């Protein structure tokens, strides 16, 4: 057992969660926009 990778993996945890919320957050906004522009088409 080694804690040598901890700084890297902890930063990946933060960056990864931020990244996935960023991508899906933008996607949510994108889908709202698509729904608005193309409603009924």
Partner 1 sequence: MQFLQTFAGLFANFGNLTWQMVVMWVIGGLLIYLAIAKKMEPSLLLPMGFGAILVNLPLSGAITQGTTVGPISALFDAGMSNELFPLLLFIGIGAMIDFGPLLEKPWLMLFGAAAQFGIFVTLVLAGLFFDLPDAASIAVIGAADGPTAIFVANTLGSKYLGAIMVAAYSYMALVPIVQPPVIRLCTTKKERLIRMPYQKGSVSKTTKILFPIVVTMLAGLVAPASVALVGFLMFGNLLRECGVLNALSETAQNVLANLITIVLGLTVAGQMTADKFVRPDTLLILALGLVAFIFDTAGGVFFAKLLNLFLPEGKKINPMIGAAGISAFPMSGRVVNQMGLAEDNQNFLLMYSISVNVSGQIASVIAGGLILTLMSSCV
Q: Which residues bind partner 1 (CB under 8 A)?
A: 1-3, 5-6, 8-10, 12-13, 15-17, 19-28, 30-32, 34-35, 38-41
- In the complex, what is the shortest distance from the CB of residue 2 to partner 1, in angstroms, rounded to a whole number? 7
Q: For residue 8, give the DSSP letter.
A: H
- In the complex, what is the shortest distance from the CB of residue 31 to partner 1, in angstroms, rounded to a whole number? 4
**Opening angle at CA 16, ends 24 and 33, nearest 5:** 15
- In the complex, what is the shortest distance from the CB of residue 7 to partner 1, in angstroms, rounded to a whole number? 10
Euclidean distance between CA atoms 12 and 34, whole angstroms: 32
């Amino acid at each position: 057992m080694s804690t040598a990778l901890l700084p890297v993996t902890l930063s990946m945890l933060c960056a990864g969660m931020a990244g996935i919320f960023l991508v899906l957050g933008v996607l949510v906004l994108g889908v709202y926009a698509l729904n608005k522009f193309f409603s009924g088409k």
